[in-house]
Structure 1
Amino acid sequence: MRLIKIPFNGGSLDETADQDSAPDKIVELLKRFSLDEDGRFFVINQEELLVDNSDLQETFHRVESLIAKENYLTLVLGGDHSLTYPCFRAFARKHVNPGIVVFDARAGVSEDLKVNNSDYLRALLNEHIVKGENVLLVGLRSWSKDEIAFLRKNNIKFYTMREISMEGKSEVCDSVMSVAREWDGFYLSVGVGVLDPAFAPGTSCLEPGGLTSRQLLYFIQRLKLLKNLKMVDVVEVCPSKDFNDITSLIAAKLISELA
């Protein structure tokens, strides 16, 4: 698998966040894993994209240019969630019917004047980069009335933590996979905020009642089986807010299972 480190937090609304330091920390911890949970060796070829945290548009241009050249399973390691915007824009140009599954506590559809980590998905939808029915959100538990209205207006399917708790992770994962396998290009975005703060304290927006590490691994290990999975991003880790590196460590673990 190809891994691209993008140390960018220029799209974060949290001025105390340090997502730009996450890629190096996560890759360092990735050395702890030599095998995945099936006992298989994994090989990762990594590179880093130089970015300017003070220039959002230039960074997005660089990201799009790089991603447009990728033809194999690629994992982008951020960085804040605004990176999903340029990554998916480039990804969508290479597929006739692209779709995206996002794991996060928040929907990414707030209404702001510029693309950031809280409205990246709204921008993709408003620009018709992705169809609403080709967006699946998993793990939601924090939103506004306007955001719910936007999701429903755009026919976006979302699975709240309450639904996952009531219906079970297996049932929800079956539903996600049945939709995602119909796309010719499947993009997976994992914001670590989807996890409960007990398992991922090192992120900028802590929302109680999230997934456990084991539950997230279950989803990831199953979604990896889909042959149309072409690109992944793992974002929103803030090492300075972490405790004993447990958030960075679960991010590294996710990468080892996806490789």
Structure 2
Amino acid sequence: MKILKIPFSAGGLGKTKGCELAPDAIENEVKNFFLTESGVLPVFDSSQLKINQSNIEATNKSVGEAIKNVNEPAIILGGDHSITYAAFSAFAKKYSSPGIVVFDAHFDCQSDMEPPTHEDYLRMLIRKGVVSPQNVVVIGTRNWHKDELEFVKEQRIKHFSMKEISFEGIREVCDAAMSIAKNWDAIYLSVDIDVLDPSFAPGTGYQEPGGMSSRELIYFLQRFKNLRKLEMIDIVEVNPKKDVNNITVKTAAKIVVEMS
């Protein structure tokens, strides 16, 4: 499995300082896992992108070039969530009907900014026509701004809140999300670690109570892994500086291993 490390944290408007440390920290923890839960030995080919923390546009260009040259399933280690804009934009150019499934406590559809930040990258992907709103699924939301919800409703973006997961059941929600994604010709998963409850992932900048357990997230991801059109995954917003006993970093490493 190809691993691309993107240690960028300047897309969080100064609020994600420390996320640049996550790629190396996660990779170091990956080494402590022996096999996946399916009994498979994970093998990785890792590389790190050289980026400029003071220049989002230059970073986006570098990310785009790197993704353009990836011709195998890959895991991207961020970094803040702004990296998904450039990564998915480059990914989408390779396919006729790509889609993105986002695991996140937030919609990340706030008012547009140029260049896109971790608060509005998804809105920008849709507004710029990089992805059809019908090819977007957001799972795990539980806190949003009024204008974000209006945008999501206006664009008819399919989303499953934590409330819906609790009321309808995780299996039913996963079935519904997968039934949408399987119609795309390529699937990109974006995992913002704040989709987890802070008790499972304290090491992130925007903690939101009432989130998933690590086991619930792994359940979703293990099932999505069975879709043959899954091509790329990113793991973002892990902040080792805010972590407690390295548990968030370890959880991210567990995700890497299980998706390998």
TM over 0.5: yes
CA–CA distance in 1 between the matches of 2:214 and 2:83?
Answer: 23
Alignment of 1:241-252 (within 5 A): 241-252=242-253
Q: Is the 8 A contact 1:74 1:231 kept in 2?
A: yes
One-letter code aligned to 2:161 = T
> Aligned-pair distance for 1:113?
2.4
- Give SS of 1:171's match: helix
Q: Any stretches of 5+ residues in structure 1 without a counterpart? A: none
Partner of 1:195: 196
Alignment of 1:153-192 (within 5 A): 153-192=154-193
> Aligned-pair distance for 1:224?
0.3
CA–CA distance in 2 between the matches of 1:71 and 1:16?
Answer: 30
Query: In structure 2, do the counterparts of structure 1 residues 138 and 204 end up closer, same or farther at CA, with 3 Å as the change threshold?
Result: same
- Give SS of 1:225's match: coil
CA–CA distance in 2 between the matches of 1:76 and 1:222?
Answer: 19
One-letter code aligned to 2:249 = S
Q: With structure 1 as the length reference, what TM-score do the two structures score?
A: 0.99
Q: Is the 8 A contact 1:14 1:204 kept in 2?
A: no
Q: Any stretches of 5+ residues in structure 2 without a counterpart? A: none
Partner of 1:234: 235
Tell me the alpha carbon deviations over residues 127-182 of structure 1, each in whole angstroms, 9 at most, x when there is no partner.
00000010000000010111111001111000000000011110000001101011
Following superposition, which runs of at least 4 residues in structure 1 exceed 2 angstroms of deviation?
Answer: 13-17
RMSD (Å), alpha carbons: 0.8
One-letter code aligned to 2:40 = R
Partner of 2:12: 12
Sequence identity of aligned pairs in percent?
46
Partner of 2:150: 149
CA–CA distance in 1 between the matches of 2:181 and 2:113?
Answer: 30
Alignment of 1:79-228 (within 5 A): 79-114=79-114, 115-228=116-229
CA–CA distance in 2 between the matches of 1:242 and 1:121?
Answer: 26
- Give SS of 1:81's match: coil
- Give SS of 2:75's match: strand
One-letter code aligned to 2:9 = N
Q: Is the 8 A contact 1:192 1:203 kept in 2?
A: yes
Count of aligned pairs between the two proteins: 259
Tell me the alpha carbon deviations over residues 66-110 of structure 1, each in whole angstroms, 9 at most, x when there is no partner.
101111101110000000000000000000000000000000100
Q: Is the 8 A contact 2:137 2:157 kept in 1?
A: yes
